[in-house]
Amino acid sequence: DVFEVVEPEGRRRRIGCKQFELLQVLMKYADGVSREELRSLLWSGAENSNIADVTVHRLRRLLGFGETEGILSVPGGYKLVG
């Protein structure tokens, strides 16, 4: 499945299902979410994997975010800002 995200400027971006689910989790956990929580919520059975990091990296790239905007790395996890 592919989802379309519309940015405030009106640009449309297409993202995959897991990337959309990740974005939903980041919006739900406004104070941030740990890598372990992400893996548990989105990828059961991937406890020792870097799948969360890889998916965050891809989502940042697709949405045009740098390392210091949009999805921030916080100690142990990630936080959506802006």
- Furthest CA-CA distance within the chain: 38
Mean pLDDT of 39-45: 88
Closest CA to 27 of 61, 75, 73, 71: 71
What are the beta bridge partners of residue 14? 4
- The pTM of the full predicted model, rounded to 2 decimals, is 0.86
pLDDT bucket at 1, cuts 50 / 70 / 90:
confident
- Looking at residue 71, its pLDDT comes to 93
Q: Strand, coil or helix: what is 73?
A: strand
